[in-house]
Amino acid sequence: MRTSKWHFILYFIFICTPVTLARVEVSATRPNIIVLLCDDLGYGDLSCYGHPVIQTPNLDRLARQGLRLTACYSAAPVCSPSRVGLLTGRSPNRAGVYDWIPPGGRQQANLRDLVHMQKDETTIPMVLSQSGYQTCLVGKWHCNSRFNSPAQPQPDQAGFDHWFATQNNAGPSHKNPKNFVRNGEPAGPLTGFSAGLIVQEAIQWLGQRDAKQPFYLQVCFHEPHEPVASPPALVKKYLPKATNEDQAQYFANVENVDQAVGRLLAFLSSQDLREHTLIVFTSDNGPETLKRYGGANRSYGSPGALKGMKLWTSEAGFRVPGILNWPGTIEPGLVSDKVVSSLDLLPTFCALSDASLPKRTLDGTDISGFLKGQPLSRPKPLLWCYYNSLNEHAVAMRSGDWKILATLQVDGQRLDKITNVHSSNQATIRNAVLGDFELYHVKADLSETNNVA
C-alpha cells in the first residue's frame, strides 16, 4: 500500500515536470547576499562535516556562528543542471539542461553542443537587479556550451552586472589559469590559484561598487573539481597524513578554498559588511569517483556516510554541505536536519529583498522564515530526474523523512542512458514508466541500506 502511494505521487510529479573602499550604507532589512558554491565538494569534505584530515577553520567558524544543514541538497547530481537549478529556483529539466554541458564548436548527434540555460528563464540576479541590487559572478559559469559568444546567453544576459568567469573548469588547471573572461574580454594568462583569483576579483568589485545599494555576489569556486592543483605549501602540510601526493593535492585544494573564503570574510568585516550580509555556502553536487575517467587521479572527495558519489541519485550525488550565516538574524551554533535545497535560494532571496517572484512554476520553497527561527515546511517534495545516472535509478524524490527511487522503463526494459533530451528521443522519455522502486527512511537510514519498498 505504501509503495502504491509513493508510486502515484512520484509519477504525478514526474509527468508535471517538463522536460575605493567605501563602507556600506544599506538597510539591514534588505541584506547583501553572497553565495559561495564549490565544485564537486563531498558531503564529508569539511572538518565541520567530519573529515578526519582536511582543515577548514574559516568554514567551520562560519558554521559555528550560523546554521549548519545536515540535509542540504543540490538541484542535480552534476554541475550544469545543478547551477541552472540554483539560479532559477526550478528543476533544471524545465530549463532544458539535463547533464553537464560540453564546450560548443563540435556538432554532436544528440545536439548537446547547443545546450544552454533557456533565454526565457528568470534568474536570481535578474530579480534582485529589479529590486536595486548590484550583481556579480566570479568563477565557474557552465550554463552554456558556446561561452562568450553571441550565439547563446552569457552571464550578463542572465543578470550579472560584472562577471569574471570560465565556461567550465579553470584551465589548464587551478594553477595559473588562462581561460578566464571578464565582461566579454579574455583576461589572458593569470598568476595564482583559481580560488584566490576569483576572491580577489570579488573583493575588487566590492570595493568599486555603489555602497548605497545592496549587492548579490556569486562566488563559484572551481575547486575541488579536476584538474586539481594546489599551493605547494599546503600540499606539503598534508603529505604526512595522505596516502600519496595526489591525495595531499586534494586535501590542500579544499583548504585553499577555505583560505580564500577567509580572505573574503576578513574583507567584509573590515568594511562593516558582515552583519548586513547573508552568506550561503554549498556545493553543486557530490564528490567525483577516483579515476572514473583519465584525469580524475586526484579525486579523493568524501561522501561521508552517504551512498554513491557524483552522478548518482543516491544521497551522495546531491546531498551536500550547507552553511547559512547572517549575524544578528540567524541564531549561531545551530545544526538542522530540515530539508533545504539550492532550489530554495531564489524564492528566499526574493522574500528578503522585496523582489517579485517570477511568474512561472518554481520548485523551490521560501525559507526566509526558517532563517529567522520559524518552522520550515515544504509544500512539495524535492524531485530529481537524471537520465545519465551511474546507478540504475534515474528518478529520486525526497518527501519528509522518506526517499524513493525508481528506474525508467520502456517496453519492460530500462531506458538507456541519455545526456540530452531532444526531438528524436522526447517521445520515448515521455512514454517511459517507473519501476524497480526503492524506499528508504532516509532521515534515520542515511546510507540507504534498508529498502522497505
The per-residue b/e assignment along 196-217, b for 16 or more CB within 10 angstroms, e otherwise, is bbbbbbbbebbeebebeebbbb
Where residue 93 falls among pLDDT bands split at 50, 70, 90? very high
Strand-pair partners of 164: 138, 182
Q: Which of 38, 72, 79, 385 is catalytic?
A: 79
Cell numbers representing residue 45 in the block: 569534505
Measured from the Cβ of residue 256, the count of other Cβ atoms closer than 10 Å reads: 24
pLDDT of 452: 98
Measured from the Cβ of residue 336, the count of other Cβ atoms closer than 10 Å reads: 16
**For the segment 35-62, what is each residue's pLDDT rounded down to a tens digit?**
999 999 999 999 999 999 999 999 999 9
φ and ψ of 336, to 5 deg? -130, 140
Domain 31-378 fold: Alkaline Phosphatase, subunit A (3.40.720)
238-258: average pLDDT: 99
Half-sphere exposure of residue 192: CA atoms within 13 angstroms, side-chain side: 14
244-260: average pLDDT: 99
**For the segment 168-203, what is each residue's pLDDT rounded down to a tens digit?**
999 999 999 999 999 999 999 999 999 999 999 999
pLDDT of 9: 46
pLDDT of 108: 87
Q: Which of 51, 142, 222, 276 is catalytic?
A: 142
Distance CA 323, CA 292 (A): 29
**For the segment 422-439, what is each residue's pLDDT rounded down to a tens digit?**
999 999 999 999 999 999
Of 172, 94, 142, 177, the closest CA to residue 363 belongs to 94
**For the segment 262-290, what is each residue's pLDDT rounded down to a tens digit?**
999 999 999 999 999 999 999 999 999 99
pLDDT of 436: 97
Look over the chain and give the mean of its residue pLDDT values, rounded to a whole number.
Answer: 94
**For the segment 317-360, what is each residue's pLDDT rounded down to a tens digit?**
999 999 999 999 999 999 999 999 999 999 999 999 999 999 99
**For the segment 221-246, what is each residue's pLDDT rounded down to a tens digit?**
999 999 999 999 999 999 999 999 99
Checking if the pLDDT of 154 tops 80, the result is yes
Where residue 140 falls among pLDDT bands split at 50, 70, 90? very high
Q: How far is CA 89 from the centre of its chain?
A: 12
91-107: average pLDDT: 94
Where residue 109 falls among pLDDT bands split at 50, 70, 90? confident
Annotated active-site residue 79? The verdict is yes
Checking if the pLDDT of 71 tops 80, the result is yes
Annotated active-site residue 422? The verdict is no
pLDDT of 123: 99
Of 330, 366, 369, 320, the closest CA to residue 127 belongs to 366
Distance CA 153, CA 226 (A): 26
User: Alpha-carbon torsion 98, 290, 169, 223, what sign?
Assistant: positive
Where residue 107 falls among pLDDT bands split at 50, 70, 90? confident
- Percent of the chain surpassing pLDDT 90: 92
- Kindly list the domain boundaries of the chain, sorted by start residue: 31-378
Checking if the pLDDT of 106 tops 50, the result is yes
